Structure 1
């Protein structure tokens, strides 16, 4: 038995709550049956209640998940990025609530945007701005350089009134691009120095390619043609790890992150962040009125959703991407926090939320907890079956469609470019069209419209590529011209 495995078991053995949580997770994994691997961290005040791993990191390899297995946490990264920027403000390097123009200097960002937008606006999703080229390149194609991203700041537009909440990656991408322009400091270096090193999170990193060489990293999974889980065709690389969603972490490290949040910058009994800095990121900066499953959301701070679970304030952030799902949350009044990470999200992604809910209800002493969660698991299994059936039906319907391209396949091949969005390559492979955009690639299927094909550059999400003569294609509202 490894030291890590023994440590996890030792933690479980000391707490009746942890024993019950462990039993529930095992039961849930068995009943849901489509989640390859899952990890859990639970913290109460200054104490780690449990860190544990379940299942496998990769169905094709069978390596067991433990408390030191890395999982991609997707948009839960935003809280780390926001804290690193808040730390810059604490040091007096910039002001969170001042117009961007006061510290950015000469920038390609449109002058009216720089004069009317602050970092608080960007980080709380209230800026009303959009910049599709930067967001697409950072998270999906991976084709970018600091100089190119700086130039693309000029593509920033206002899509809705300032002050209105609209959740996107754009604000974080813009903020860190501007900071790198002004200070020569990339977001990775910022998060490393200002957050990960002080917190002692030695197994959390934005460098996923290196992480795969030095530690076990869970692979994102999606349903294959027969419905069984297989590694997702789209996996994160260093080039697509970005400030709005770009960290890999472990259950053991996420326990430290929860300690930092619950104890205002104190971990292992030592103050590692200035008093009030961490707490400042928990204050709502913009109102919203939405629900996400059992959670009510009424605000957003710096990298955190502000809301409630039942009658309790719940500060939280979730994340998902192409077969990975993360839940990070804490109840400040109860001093209780949970992180759950899984390597499947499309069929039963809510399992991570269900595990977290069980933790909160177990500590609250819910009387009907077993009956309630048996019913919740049954409902999740029913949704799983419905989703798998829907995928099978959709695949069969698409396979029956007639091919809608009139000319020979080679007629459509070539490199198509959009000055802002980048390049799409259409190639022929074994008689089929394949569409590529940087890190993204998908075989083309028949589409319903003439001179069009359907692709899944993002797994399980259909997109249409329409060929327009002469030598043009339309993808996601953008026109690309063949070179």
Structure 2
């Protein structure tokens, strides 16, 4: 088993104020905006400047019904902000001599059957910059949502990778897949979980003591984790049904962290690997992690994106070059960004996903306006409060319309089944997607469960079909179609795949 050389371990004191900057406009905005939204979900903010955390703000609740407020020690599930940390870890592996940026998938997996891709052309740098030109929905969804995988199954899933005909090798298309593939290599090469390697190379050296890629560490280390919320349900204060577990934490989006811990990570980015005067990471590795690997043209709210580095989006913001990465799944919206030219950065974490992107967008404008001395931050805050009033109303109206339409469709449909209901229940197996379980509830509804995710099926318009929507996957409704022969259910199709009845 290979181990990493011991890196410098440290912690840093985080102040709540900074003599030269007044961040009260952020407090005023967030408090007012949350009143407009009408849901006291949580938000944690850390602002970095010149090697220090110069502002921290904690708002709302980590657990609404249990009245647990967000504090400096509240960890949030940060989703895709994991990517730049895992990418930096990969570059530290390269620095240690274990892999190269040009190492191909054929070299990474010499015993693996990778027949449907050009494994001798896809390199580590492609995998870590969303430009590998391959796709594999079964692997991505197994690691992030269903949890139907183990070490052996991940090898099987890896072999199912195919060429991406829409975006060939060298072209950018945002995906978790490359990071997931590298994590499979890490598990094999180091004979231990990628989570442990990430902790050894990033979290421990930086003193990120409230950060982990194991959800089980929350209980072991007594870390309070913000629970996920959303505006779509009948009761927005109810915790969303899907929450991450160890088996659904993955290298493209599998970390819990506090805002101040992520602030330490940004300080390392801005100071060539130095934190609190100590060289935690080699400066050359940090520099390389910021190098653009592929160009693309996109935007997200106020953030223009022109390229992608090692887990970092690159683009102009307020006329300056910014590196950033955001994260989002049901019940989570997160933001991490920095402007190297001015040695400033920002972290914003939310445990709500329907409207928090707009909240965070405004926080970014206010925070960077203060840091760059770009206009009156208080006036901007007032403007954003008014904007949130309109936005919150629009979002709630749209959600209500969507729910009403969905309810109307559901009520107008009757499930058309040619056999007795009990014939449709059971266990169905797919070699890549794993076990799918269908259960008939006392209510007469069908529960459909695929590993860690489940839903209640509704009627569709055709005979022997059901509509299923796994909200955690955020892919909309899918049609589940049964195949019947000689009066018995033999198989079903879902996601375009055939599941055989066990």
TM-score interval, smaller chain: over 0.9
Cα distance in 2 for partners of 1:371, 1:450 equals 59
Is 1:43 equivalent to 2:48 in the alignment?
yes
Pairs within 5 Å for 1:372-451: 372-399=380-407, 400-407=411-418, 408-430=420-442, 431-451=444-464
- The one-character-per-residue Cα deviations of 1:373-409 (angstroms, maximum 9, x if unpaired) are 4333333333332332233233333332222332443
Aligned 8 A contact 2:18 2:54 in 1: no
2:89 to 54, 64, 84: 84
1:204 to 194, 204, 211: 211
Aligned 8 A contact 1:327 1:353 in 2: no
With over 3 angstroms needed to count, the CA separation of the structure-2 counterparts of 1:207 and 1:262, relative to structure 1, is: same
SS in 1 for 2:218: helix
- The one-character-per-residue Cα deviations of 1:326-352 (angstroms, maximum 9, x if unpaired) are 000000101100000000012343212
Aligned 8 A contact 2:25 2:381 in 1: no
Aligned 8 A contact 1:56 1:63 in 2: yes
SS in 1 for 2:455: strand
Is 1:122 equivalent to 2:127 in the alignment?
yes
Q: Which piece of structure 1 moves more, 34-43 or 385-394?
A: 385-394
SS in 2 for 1:245: coil
Residue 64 of structure 1 corresponds to 69
Shift of 1:324: 0.8
Residue 10 of structure 2 corresponds to none
List alignment gaps of at least 5 residues for structure 1: 1-6
Cα distance in 2 for partners of 1:291, 1:350 equals 14
Q: Which piece of structure 1 moves more, 80-89 or 173-182?
A: 173-182
- The one-character-per-residue Cα deviations of 1:50-87 (angstroms, maximum 9, x if unpaired) are 12311110112110101110001000100111111100
Residue 480 of structure 2 corresponds to 466
Cα distance in 1 for partners of 2:150, 2:218 equals 22
With over 3 angstroms needed to count, the CA separation of the structure-2 counterparts of 1:109 and 1:381, relative to structure 1, is: farther
Shift of 1:464: 1.9
Q: Which piece of structure 1 moves more, 37-46 or 90-99?
A: 90-99
With over 3 angstroms needed to count, the CA separation of the structure-2 counterparts of 1:360 and 1:39, relative to structure 1, is: same
Cα distance in 2 for partners of 1:153, 1:417 equals 18
Aligned 8 A contact 1:34 1:348 in 2: no
Is 1:269 equivalent to 2:280 in the alignment?
no
SS in 2 for 1:93: coil
Shift of 1:169: 0.5
Cα distance in 2 for partners of 1:478, 1:286 equals 33
Shift of 1:30: 2.5
- The one-character-per-residue Cα deviations of 1:202-260 (angstroms, maximum 9, x if unpaired) are 11001112314511110011235436332111111111000000000002211111111
Cα distance in 1 for partners of 2:241, 2:293 equals 38
Cα distance in 2 for partners of 1:108, 1:450 equals 39
Is 1:107 equivalent to 2:112 in the alignment?
yes
With over 3 angstroms needed to count, the CA separation of the structure-2 counterparts of 1:71 and 1:16, relative to structure 1, is: same
Is 1:194 equivalent to 2:201 in the alignment?
yes
Is 1:134 equivalent to 2:153 in the alignment?
no
Q: Which piece of structure 1 moves more, 279-288 or 23-32?
A: 23-32
List alignment gaps of at least 5 residues for structure 2: 1-12, 485-489
Cα distance in 1 for partners of 2:158, 2:417 equals 39
Cα distance in 2 for partners of 1:463, 1:112 equals 30
1:219 to 203, 227, 239: 227
Q: Which piece of structure 1 moves more, 456-465 or 59-68?
A: 456-465
Cα distance in 2 for partners of 1:110, 1:127 equals 15
With over 3 angstroms needed to count, the CA separation of the structure-2 counterparts of 1:276 and 1:17, relative to structure 1, is: farther
Q: Which piece of structure 1 moves more, 204-213 or 434-443?
A: 204-213
Residue 4 of structure 1 corresponds to none
Aligned 8 A contact 2:148 2:433 in 1: no
Aligned 8 A contact 2:460 2:466 in 1: yes
With over 3 angstroms needed to count, the CA separation of the structure-2 counterparts of 1:48 and 1:13, relative to structure 1, is: closer
CA RMSD of aligned residues (A): 2.1
Residue 357 of structure 1 corresponds to 365
With over 3 angstroms needed to count, the CA separation of the structure-2 counterparts of 1:179 and 1:226, relative to structure 1, is: closer
Cα distance in 1 for partners of 2:254, 2:101 equals 22
Count residues in correspondence.
476
Residue 22 of structure 2 corresponds to 17
SS in 2 for 1:137: helix
Shift of 1:13: 7.4
SS in 1 for 2:298: strand
Shift of 1:136: 1.1
Residue 343 of structure 2 corresponds to 335
2:172 to 162, 165, 182: 165
Q: Which piece of structure 1 moves more, 133-142 or 383-392?
A: 383-392
Q: Which piece of structure 1 moves more, 223-232 or 142-151?
A: 223-232
SS in 2 for 1:155: coil
- The one-character-per-residue Cα deviations of 1:401-430 (angstroms, maximum 9, x if unpaired) are 222332443232111111111121111112
